[in-house]
Structure 1
Amino acid sequence: MFDNLSERLERSFKILKGEGKITEINVAETLKDVRRALLDADVNYKVAKNFTDTVKEKAMGQNVLTAVKPSQLMVKIVHDELAKLMGGDTIELDLKGRPAVILMSGLQGSGKTTFSGKLARMFKTKKNRKPLLVACDVYRPAAIEQLKVLGTQVEVPVYSEPESKDPVQIAKNAIQEAKAKGYDLVIVDTAGRLAVDEQMMNEIETIKNAITPDATLFVVDAMTGQDAVNTAREFNERLDFTGVVLTKLDGDTRGGAALSIRTVVNKPILFVGTGEKLDAVDLFHPARMADRILGMGDIVSLVERAQEQYDEEEAKRLQKKIQKNQFDFNDFLSQIHQIKKMGNLKELASMIPGVGKAIKDIDIDDNAFKSIEAIIYSMTPEERTRPEILNGSRRNRIAKGSGTSIQEVNRLLKQFDQTRKMMKMVTSNKMAGMMQKMKRK
C-alpha cells in the first residue's frame, strides 16, 4: 500500500534538493506537487488542502540548520503532519466490562467476519483474554458456518442460534452465555449493511442499544477508497462508533481512506488488517504509517514481530550451541519457521529502512524457503546434526529426494557453513566484550 504515494512524495521533495533555503516560491511548488500526490492517492480534497496549508505555514520562516537541507526539513514537517492527520497517538481499546463486548459493523464484503476471527485470536494470544465469538448475521448464507470455521482455526468458541432470525435476541443471549461460562470478551459479528438501507441500519442501532457494547468498530475495506470515508461518516451518524478498522491494507490500494477517515469522522483508526492469515492484524500506529509512506521503513514493528516469536530459553540454548560450533540444520530449520511466522516476507523486508523502495518491483514469494526446507527434510537425522558427513553421494541423494539440483544443495551447504562461521564469530566477540567490561569493573 502507498507505493505510488511514496514515489510521488519523493519526487515532490526533489524540487527542494540543491536549494540553500526554504522560500515561498520553492515551498509553493513542492506543496502543489504534494497536494496532487495526495489527491491521486484518493485523499479527500478538503483534507489534502488543509494538510498542505498547514505544512506551508510550518515550513515558512523556519531557520534551516547548516547540517539540515531544506528537503530534509520538509520531509520532517510532512512526516509529523501525516502522523497527526492519521490520529497522532496509537490508541488501544479500553475494555472494562466483564464480559467486555465489541460490536462489529460495516458494509457487505468489508471483511467483518474474518476480522472478528482475527480480533479474537489477537486478544486471546496477546492479551490473555477468553473470547466468545457471536454469529449475528442471520441473512447471509453460510455466515454462521464461516464464523465457526474461523473459530475452530483460532480455537475460540462460537455462539450461534441457527434457527433464530432475531440478531438482537441472539446477541443478548450470547452475553448471558458468556457470563455463565466465564468468557471475559464477547465479539458480536453482525450482517453487512448499506447505509441507505433504513431497516438494516435501524436493526444494528437496536442491537447496540440492547447490549451497550464497550466498543463499536466500523470495519471498512481500504480498497474502496474515498467511498470508505463517506460510508464511515454515515455509519458514525447512526452508531457513534468507537473507531475504525481498515482491512486489506496489503492490497493494491491508493490508501487515501487511511489519510482522510480520521479527519472526516473524527474517530481513530484502531486496527489494520495486513493480509489473509489470521495473525495478519496490527494496532494502527500513525507515526509508523507515516514512516512507511515516506519510505523510511518501520523497524519498530519489525522488532515487535520478532519479539512475538522470541523464546528466551530457546535463544539461550541456541547461543550455547553456536559457541560450541554445534549449530546444525535442525536449528537452521527452526529459525526459518520463526521467520515465516512473522508474516509476509516482502512486507517484512519493506519494514527495513531503504529496502522497501529497492524491492518494490521484485516479487518475493512466501514460498521462498520451500526448496531449502525440502533439501533439509530430505536429509537423515544424522546428516542434519552432522553436516560435515555430507559427501558427494549423500548430496546427490538429497538433491533427488528434494526435487532440486546438486548445485542448489551445494549452494545451501555453502551458505549454511558461512552462516555458522559468522554466528560463532558474532557470539565470540560478544562474549569477549562482556569479559572486558567485567575486567574493567
Structure 2
Amino acid sequence: MLDALTQRLSSVVKTLRGHARLTEDNIQEALREVRLALLDADAGLPVVKDFVARVKEKALGQEVVGSLTPGQALIGVVHSELVALMGGTNAALDFATQPPAVFLLAGLQGAGKTTSAGKLARLLTKTTKKKILLVSTDVYRPAAIEQLATLAKNLEVDLFPSDTSQKPVAIAEAALDWARKHYYDVLIVDTAGRLAIDEAMMAEVKAIHAGVKPIETLFVVDSMQGQDAVNVARAFAEALPLTGIVLTKLDGDARGGAALSVRQVTGKPIKFVGVSEKMDGFEAFHPERMASRILGMGDILSLVEEAHAKVDRVEAEKLAEKFKKGKDFDLDDFKSQLQQMKKMGGMASLMDKLPAQLTQMASQSPELGEKALARTEGIINSMTPQERRKPEILKASRKRRIAAGAGVQVQEVNQLLNKFEQMQKMMKMMRGGNLGKMMRNIKGRLPGMR
C-alpha cells in the first residue's frame, strides 16, 4: 500500500544531513522531492501546490532541537500537514437518528459498492452488535443482487429481497418500511452504478436518497483510478449531500494519491478504506495513522487493535498455561502461531503496518513470505501427532516421508526444524525469566544494533 510514495518521501531525510537548521536554501531540494513524490502518486496538482506551500511556510526557520536532524524535523512538518490534508481526525459514522439509521452507498460500477456494503455490515455486526439489514437496488445487474445475497448469507446478516422487475426507489422505501417494523438498527442500501457518470444514474440515486433520507451518504471510490477518482468524487459531491467517502482497493494502489486528493476536493472525510479482498479487510480511516504509514513510520496502533480483534485469546491462554506447567513449545504450538498470523491478514498485512526499517528486515527473510508460511504449515501437517509433540525423534527416514507428503525437499524440512529449534530455545528463555538475556541475544543478531 502506497509503497512508491513511502519510498520517495523516505529519501527526503537524506538530502538534509549535516545542516543545523531548516532554511530556504537547504529545503528547496527536499520540497522538490516532496512535490514530485506527490505528483507521481497521482495527487492533483492544485492539492500538491497548496500542500508544498504550507509545508514550506511552517518548516522555514524551524530550529532542529534535541536529537532531531533537519530531515526528521521536515518529515515532522510533512506528517502534520498530511494529517490535516486527510481530515485531521477519524470521522465516525453517525447513528444519531430514530432507528433504523440508513446508510446509502453510491459510486460507479466496479468501485466496490456491493462488497463494501457487506464489509460494512460485518464490521458493524462485530463492533457495535447492532441489528443490520442489507438491500440491493441495482436492478440492472442481477449478479449484483445475487452477490449481496451471497455475502449476507455468509456473514449471517439479514437481507431484504429484491429483483430486476422492481423499481429502485420502491425497493429502498419497502426495505426501510420493513426495517422500521422489525426493529432494525441500521439499513445499508447498495445502489446501482454505471461505467461512467450519466444523468440517469444521478437522477436515480437522488430519488433513492429523497425516498429514504439517509443519515450517512457514503461515496465509494476505487483508489486505483487515480485522478479519475478525484473527478468522479467531485461530480458525486455536487449531486448528493455526501457525508463521507469509502476508499476501496487501497492495498492494490502503490501510488495512493487518491487518498490525499479526494477528501480535499469533496470537503468530506474518508471514513473507511478497503485494504484487502477479504471481508475483514475494511478499516476505519485514521488520518494520523495513514500519514505515519505513508512516511514509513508504520501503524502500530492499528496493528494492536487488529491483534485484539483477531488473535484467538483461548489459544494464547492455552500456550501460556502450558509454559506455566513447564511443558516445552512443540510443533503444534508453532503451527498455531502461524495460523494466528494468518488471521491477522498474513505477513503482507503485518508488514504494511510496521515501520519501514522493520519491514525491510522482514522482507529480507524469505521464510516469512506468504508461500513459505503455507509450505511450513504443509510440512507440519505431514507429521504424525507424536512427531509434532517430540520433534527430536525426526531422523532421516521420517524426514524423507514428511518431505514426500508435503511435496518438498528434505532440505526444507531441515530448515523448518532449525527455525523451530531457535524459537523453542527462545521460549525456554522466556519461561525461565531470562527475558533480558534473550533480548540481548536478539539485539546482537540484528544488523545495526549493539
TM over 0.5: yes
Residue 355 (structure 1) aligned to one of 355, 358, 380: 358
Report matched runs for 1:244-255 at 5 Å. 244-255=245-256
Q: Which segment drifts farther, 206-215 or 91-100?
A: 91-100
Q: Percent identity?
A: 51
Report the CA distance between 1:66 and its aligned residue.
Answer: 4.7
Alpha carbons of structure 1 residues 108 and 163: separation in structure 2 relative to 1, 3 Å: closer
Report the CA distance between 1:246 and its aligned residue.
Answer: 0.6
Partner of 1:439: none
Report matched runs for 1:79-90 at 5 Å. 79-90=79-90
2-side partners of 1:357 and 1:402: how far apart?
30
Gaps of 5+ in 2: 438-450
Alpha carbons of structure 1 residues 117 and 238: separation in structure 2 relative to 1, 3 Å: same
Partner of 2:443: none
2-side partners of 1:382 and 1:361: how far apart?
33
CA contact (8 A) 1:134 1:159 kept: yes
1-side partners of 2:39 and 2:364: how far apart?
24
Q: Does 1:400 align with 2:401?
A: no
Alpha carbons of structure 1 residues 401 and 136: separation in structure 2 relative to 1, 3 Å: same
**Cα deviation digits, residues 171-209 of structure 1 (max 9, x gap):** 111122223334322111110136742122111111111
2-side partners of 1:251 and 1:299: how far apart?
21
Aligned residues: 433
Report matched runs for 1:215-364 at 5 Å. 215-323=216-324, 324-353=326-355, 354-357=357-360
2-side partners of 1:199 and 1:361: how far apart?
52
Partner of 2:448: none
Q: Which segment drifts farther, 276-285 or 171-180?
A: 171-180
Amino acid at match of 2:282: V
Alpha carbons of structure 1 residues 358 and 260: separation in structure 2 relative to 1, 3 Å: farther
Partner of 2:22: 22
CA contact (8 A) 1:106 1:112 kept: yes
Amino acid at match of 2:345: G
Partner of 2:441: none
2-side partners of 1:413 and 1:103: how far apart?
53
**Cα deviation digits, residues 282-303 of structure 1 (max 9, x gap):** 1111111111111112222222
CA contact (8 A) 1:195 1:201 kept: no
2-side partners of 1:194 and 1:409: how far apart?
51
**Cα deviation digits, residues 77-108 of structure 1 (max 9, x gap):** 11111111111111211223422221110011
Amino acid at match of 1:63: E
Runs of 4+ in 1 over 6 A off after TM superposition: 359-364, 430-433
Q: Which segment drifts farther, 60-69 or 167-176?
A: 60-69
Report the CA distance between 1:44 and its aligned residue.
Answer: 1.5
Report the CA distance between 1:113 and its aligned residue.
Answer: 0.8
Amino acid at match of 2:391: P
Report the CA distance between 1:277 and its aligned residue.
Answer: 1.0
Alpha carbons of structure 1 residues 407 and 362: separation in structure 2 relative to 1, 3 Å: closer
2-side partners of 1:327 and 1:361: how far apart?
26
Amino acid at match of 1:46: P
Report matched runs for 1:12-411 at 5 Å. 12-97=12-97, 98-193=99-194, 196-323=197-324, 324-353=326-355, 354-357=357-360, 366-411=370-415
1-side partners of 2:434 and 2:173: how far apart?
58
Alpha carbons of structure 1 residues 43 and 316: separation in structure 2 relative to 1, 3 Å: same
CA contact (8 A) 1:322 1:420 kept: no
